[in-house]
Structure 1
Amino acid sequence: MANNTSTVGEFVAQQPRYRVIIVQVLVIAFFLINMSLIVTFFKKKSFHTSTRYLLFALMLLSDSFLLVMSDILLVLTAFEVVMQVWLCIIVSIAVFLYNMVTPITLTAMTLERYVAICMPLRHAELCSTRSTMHCILIIHGISSIPCIVILSMFFASVSLSIFKQNMVCSVEMFILYKWHNDLRSALGQSFFLIMCIVMFFSYYKIMRVAKAASGENKKSTLKGLKTVILHGFQLLLCLFQLWCSFIETASLQVSISFFISVRYTNYIVFTLAPRCLSPLIYGLRDETFFLALKKLWVS
């Protein structure tokens, strides 16, 4: 445990401060965009009964929360601020949970588009407001699995005295043995595989419907297909984050400075970038939502 904390201290001590400033600019910009879309959602009551917009709002709230929490941890570690382990655990639970909510919500939104296009007669039944509320609970339940596994391994491997110690809060703190990292990686790859299968299954089915459709139906189906492709791109960015631990472990064998650069790049590309694509895909591309957003700002 002490070795892990010492290593993290070396990482953050070598983190260039200009990188932290760049992250602050990006986080503030993405957060403000997300907040404007969240306000738009709550202002228009018709969005509150649509599965698509309810899941979109969940993703926006999740992304905004994760942006703030991960940024706070980044700043604390960059300036080598320590906290008690029990407090770090509470913060980490929230980060672990909402780190998974976005990709799982995207998977659910992909399935919603599949039902809307391939099973239109059952869409109202399967995607009712009540079903969506149940779906949101299921999303949080599934998202908590990695968190439960990681923390269970940690609790089983440390003594009670560790919870009162002061340390730099980082994910490395919870990875005490090689098998911990192996199990965490295996769990991540399982999620990666399952969500990729769902995404490609939906894409394949919608593409078949698009080929068979004609006229207005074809236009609507092609639009749905484009949405699923954009879902897929954003989902892949989120899912590649599950591979980051492999890349970072390998980069650590080269040098600490190289590890820091790789981790910084991973954070920008696979944590921040997917969280800014949501408003671009739904808030601006969706005509109904864009008009509501425009009306909010004009008024």
Structure 2
Amino acid sequence: MGPVHATFLIAAPDQPGLVARLAGFFYDIGLNIIDASNHTDAFMDEGPRFFMRLVVDLSGLASPAAVAALGGSATRGAIEAAFRELAASLSARWSVDYSDHVPKMAILVTRDPACLYDLVLRQRAGELRCEIPLVISNHPTLEAVAESFRIPFFCIPITPETKREQERQVLHLLKRHHVDLVVLARYMQILSEQMLDEAPPVINIHHGFLPAFQGAKPYHQAHARGVKLIGATAHYATRDLDQGPIIEQDVARVNHQMGPEEMTRMGRDVERLVLSRAVRAHLERRVIVEGRRTVVF
């Protein structure tokens, strides 16, 4: 394993000197910034907002300069405590994650295997830096897929009468396996507000059309309307159904020669690509959520 890096995500009211003060903080404790991106959004209702992603090499943390600058305690906790004071002076929201922490990602599925296969294969190929400790479903259909990759599979059926109990069991599994991220890979259930309040961040994939078709067989509906574009949207799941902050989107052009099955195949391709991009952005700590929207570095 190479040097450990810390990734800081910061959101604050825009003001002069922000980049200098943030960069200066790490300069003062002798830590090298190896990657930095920032953006100012001038169109926020409450006034311009500043967003920044900083990746810092922690190799110098044990140096005498760092120890002295941090009051004799050159630890991650000391860095966070000192940065917390700086963030408070800037009225900033912030978070930090470390490269030696490998996130654990749970995948929730129903019967469609496309996104499940794609996520697992990308994870095994090293494209998604995470562990997949379990797959959860409300149907047994995809158990063989999970078993083929030697991933524990949990089938917890659900009915309107058992929904709360089923979600309680799912939450128990997420906590037991120390899950950091939940991905709804064509999981055909609506999560309750209670579930979303207690669960880690949840990313969902939605077939986003122009227009957006609801209900069963959306690609068949799109074919019947003669659409020219089909697409998909990956977003964080919130209490507002399919209205969460958008992380990634894409579209594909279709034409009158394509039947419903061909549109479905193309739609699944787009869904897989969009979902994997969104998951990767989250795992790489490139997403800042600001209200109902995101900034993706």
TM bracket (short chain): under 0.3
Which of these two proteins has the greater Rg computed from alpha carbons? 2
**Would you tell me which structure has more helix in proportion to its own residues?**
1
TM-score by length of 2: 0.23
Q: Which has the higher contact order (CA 8 A, sep 6+)?
A: 1
- TM-score, length-scaled by structure 1: 0.23
In terms of fraction of residues, the more strand-rich structure is 2
